[in-house]
Structure 1
Amino acid sequence: MEILSKCHRTCNNMDKFSSLPDHIVHKITSYLSLKDISRLSVVSRRCRQVCISSPFLVFDLIPYSNNQPKRVRLINYIDRLLFLRNGKNIEWCYISWCMQSSLVNEEEYRILSWLHNAVACNAKMLNLQLNLRRESYFALPTSLLSSTSLTALEVNLHNGAILKIPSSSTAITSLKYLTLNSLRIDKSFGDWVLSCCKSLMVLSLVKIDGTKSINITSSSLKALMVVCPRNLFNLQVCAETLESMILHWTFSNPDNRVLQLSAPKLGTFVWNGKISEVQLEANFMCLNFAGILVTPSSSTDQNLVHLLRALRKVRDLHISYNCLQESDCGRSMLCSESENIPFMHNLRFVRIELALRRWNVLELIKYLLKNTKNLQKMTIICDPLSFSDVRREISGYEKASSEAEVEFYSL
């Protein structure tokens, strides 16, 4: 009898999992695959309840794309899991799916029903990774766009399929973070953001196609990121609360592009792309940080000066080596034109990267050292072959600020 009692106590001590609080167990199970979750749910009543009530749901069926029997079993398991939740709140739901052409209608219906159930469970964050054919489309359900709990939504259609947003969708007042990736939209997207996304704070558009013009108007947006848009010619942004913008705009077609930016509170602006082909209409009155990483062309210097003139109060300036190209004529143009750059007295920190010992880059560095009276620190990063020459030429150069510190680093 005593031996049985000791064995019972030993077994109880070994079952640490059952004694853990729910929030810790849920965190552990969030790292398990869907297959492992389905197995865990049949271990015990406690495990079953943990799997059903977990606020972190990961439905990744990509590994089973070529295994139809297992795929069907897992789909049915997801249906039962969401049904048994009985409205328990969802913090985060991740759905990764590769549509099979033979079952596309049935599987799309399943996904839409899962999204509807997620909304019914007050889901806060949704991440949809759907691998669709480019000629197909995916329509966001109206129930999702009328959610009062959803704060973050990410949609990635991978192959550039069309994302359809119902024209009759009501305002989604809780949505604060929206990311769209590798999909096509139309011109009405901007109207939807303006009329329905009243609380949107962060918008990320990555590899967006389908429209030559994007117009984003918002009274709540604080951060905007536009990365590698396809066939975009006109980008208009009007956001009175915008504080940060990252633009990665590269293209091979030489046709003119236009960036119209009205953001009076913009404090951080990073531009990576071909500046020579973009017509800039902007006023950076409150800008504190500017990062310029621009693809070189024959007219890069002139366009860079035009951009620098718009930076009136910038205190921290980063310039990549890609944006300054050696030219035979007008080598000192950049520095002579810089005399009209209005932010010189505000500039505190400068970071310049150069891959080669280019004459006009060195002249710009010298000019900034000589004329920036409040400069506190300049960081120069160059390639190993030019490192010694650049350091020797710059180290003893005249500085307007006696407190200015110059640091050199090798790429």
Structure 2
Amino acid sequence: MASASRRVEGICGGRESESMIDVFSKLPDQISHHILCLLAVTDLARFGCVSKRCRELCLSSPKLNLDEFSSVNTSTCYKRLELFTYLDRFLFRRGDNKIQSFRLRWYRHDVCEGEDEEAQCVCDCCASFRLFTWIENAVRCNVEVLDVAMNYQDEEERFLFPASVFLCGTLRHLRLHLNCTVLKTPLFAFQSNLKILELKNVDIDDGGGFFKWILCCCKFIEELSLEHVCVTQEISVESSSLKILNCSGFFLIDKCHINISCEKLEYIRICWVFDSPRNKSLNMFAPNLKSFKWFGSLMNHSNLGKLELLEVASFFLEPTLDILDNIVEVFHSLCRAKLFMLNEATIKALPLKELSSRPAPLCDTSSLCIEIGSFIDELIPAMVSLFRAMPKLCTLCIMLNPPSGAPTSNASGISMEYWKLQNLAFVYQLKHVAIELCHGSNGIELARYIIEYAPNLQKMVIVYSSQDKEKITRELEKSKMISNATIDFQEKSIKR
């Protein structure tokens, strides 16, 4: 660039050549910092070597990304230690300049073939101290967003995460994806300004103080995510501000009793799988809940309370015996949902007698999306009971997700006459339908029934595999001519 400027200087004046070189430096700090926020810290360091102005911008950048380190910097223990030393020096030179966002990614050093295994401990043994020092530096610089993900080589050793993070008054978003790390919140009361807290692969072993800290100190928290969190006490999530709760894969020693009391909670997602529902319960008070998603296993006792404002209920349960005994009490709490999303195991476990009762227990449901393996004969009666419980159904979506080894021979025993004899009220309300068809005629007969006997049907999308195209289009062509609805045939795309 310097040689180019000398060639240009003979034609243009010195002032013009200077402006060509220093365009970036003349930008306002806000725009410069926005550009620099897109750089990893190693690229930021290179930029800081260009000029004094660039160095000032580099050291005052409000967002730091300590991630995306290349193999040039991390391939050996010596290079990783050099990187440690550089980052120590870089953060020291920044001083107390405000850090708005601090992102840190650091993963253990995998031994390469031919590398001395004993030398690997040289860089990993000091990692926790150095990394926690950087985090405390970000806290000192009034960080607002702290995003940390790291692991260590020795998983038998447990590290205590810096408690100063929980005392940071400027922190708004805390995201920790760790392992071999224990969280211990301060015992004394103080006001935290956290709005979003995401925890993954951490140990909480502080005598229940963590959840008391959320209740007493986090008065503004709106989103809490606990994923693969190890706890030794009963879980009690109480908050007057929480709106979103994600609970996934708790690890407990013997029992699991979860209590949720959040008046403003609008969205909850639960995902866990247990060998046995014994000694496990869920008690919930969330009167303003709008979306409830549950994946995995049911508990021995589940009291969801009254969910009068529920709009979406998504239940994808595991095909285990505990579903049959425990789903009834869950079912009664979900009757107000406008949209239901269910998998095959859940449909089979639903109480058919209650679903077939009068009046229909799900009379407020207007949309249904189900995922099944195939239209086998054994599943059809359960689907009929489900349809009968939803007389106001306007939108229906049936997707296929066949497991390996699923039966294929018993999917052709249900005829068009069978569906006509059921006298299903929902068919007169249907407007939009999407159905995925495969082997067997059961699915085709259901599609025919809907096309010919749904007077208000506006559009139906039929998805098929390439090998079934000719058969499906031939079987439904006559029904298509009878209906005034738009029938859209779509070939299923093959996932690669």
The TM-score with structure 1 as length reference comes to: 0.85
* Aligned-partner Cα distance in 1 for 2:251–2:445: 44
Residue 33 of structure 1, aligned match among 40, 47, 55: 40
- Indicate if the aligned counterparts of 1:156 and 1:180 stay in contact, CA closer than 8 A: yes
Structure 2 Cα separation of the partners of residues 399 and 54 of structure 1: 65
Change (3 A) 1:12 1:37: same
Between the aligned partners of 2:12 and 2:44, the Cα distance in structure 1 is: 32
Partner residue, 1:338: 355
| Aligned equivalent of 1:165 | 184
* Most deviating of 401-410 and 201-210: 401-410
Residues in 2 aligned to 1:119 and 1:279: alpha-carbon distance in whole angstroms: 42
Q: How far is 1:128 from its partner?
A: 1.5
Work out which of the two has the higher radius of gyration on C-alpha atoms and give 1 or 2.
2
1:250 aligns with 2:273: yes
Counterpart in 1 of 2:145? Answer: 125
Name the counterpart of 2:239. Answer: 218
Cα shift readout 1:301-351 (whole Å, capped 9, x = no counterpart): 55444422221311111112343459xxxxxx7432214587522111111
Query: Partner amino acid for 2:446?
Result: E
Offset of 1:361 from its aligned partner? Answer: 4.1
Q: What's the CA shift for 1:226?
A: 1.0
Retained in 2: the 8 A contact 1:92–1:125? yes
Q: Which runs of 5+ in 2 are unaligned?
A: 1-6, 109-119, 402-436, 465-491
Q: 1:291 aligns with which of 278, 291, 314?
A: 314
Once the two structures are superposed, the pairs formed by residues 384-403 of structure 1 within 5 Å of their partners are: 384-386=437-439, 389-396=442-449, 402=456
Given that 1:371 and 1:400 are in contact with CA atoms closer than 8 Å, whether structure 2 keeps it comes out as: no
- Secondary structure of the 1:396 match is helix
What secondary structure does 1:6 align onto? Answer: coil
Q: Partner amino acid for 1:355?
A: G
Percent identical across equivalent pairs? 26
2 CA distance for matches of 1:367 and 1:142?
Answer: 54
AA aligned opposite 1:279: H
For structure 1, which runs of at least 5 residues remain unmatched after alignment?
Answer: 327-332
* Structure 1 residue 217: Cα displacement: 1.5
Higher relative contact order (CA 8 A, sep 6+): 1
The reply to whether residue 201 of structure 1 matches residue 210 of structure 2 is no
Alpha-carbon separation, structure 1, partners of 2:279 and 2:453: 39
2:365 to 344, 347, 353: 347
Q: How much has 1:76 moved relative to structure 2? A: 3.4
2: CA distance, partners of 1:31 / 1:16: 19
What is the CA–CA distance in structure 2 between the aligned matches of 1:404 and 1:261, rounded to whole Å?
A: 40
Q: Aligned in 2, Cα 1:118/1:288: closer, same or farther, shift over 3 Å?
A: same
RMSD over aligned Cα atoms: 3.3
Tell whether the 8 Å contact from 1:184 to 1:208 is kept in structure 2 after alignment.
yes
Q: Which residue in 2 is equivalent to 1:329?
A: none
- In the comparison of the two structures, how many residue pairs are matched? 402
Distance 1:124-1:395 versus aligned 2 partners, 3 A rule: farther
Segment drifting more, 10-19 vs 237-246: 10-19
Deviations along 1:145-174, one digit per CA (max 9) or x if unpaired, are 12111001111113xx24231443543421
- Tell me if 1:265 matches 2:288: yes
2:50 maps to amino acid: V
Question: Residue 301 of structure 2 corresponds to which residue in structure 1?
Answer: 279
Q: For the residues of structure 2 that align with 1:24 and 1:111, how far apart are their CA atoms?
A: 29
Aligned to 1:330: none
Q: Determine if contact 2:360/2:390 at 8 Å carries over to the other structure.
A: no
Shift of 1:203: 0.7
Q: Counterparts of 1:26-175 in structure 2 under 5 Å? A: 26-60=33-67, 64-98=73-107, 101-102=121-122, 106-132=126-152, 133-158=154-179, 161-168=180-187, 170-175=189-194
Q: TM-score, normalised by structure 2?
A: 0.71
Given that 2:239 and 2:263 are in contact with CA atoms closer than 8 Å, whether structure 1 keeps it comes out as: yes
Amino acid at match of 1:282: L
TM-aligned CA distance change 1:211 to 1:358, over 3 Å: farther
CA contact (8 A) 1:376 1:405 kept: no
Seen in structure 2, the aligned counterparts of structure 1 residues 321 and 46 have a Cα distance that, compared at 3 Å, is: farther
- Distance (Å, rounded) in 2 between the aligned partners of 1:215 and 1:360: 41
Q: Is the 8 A contact 1:288 1:314 kept in 2?
A: yes
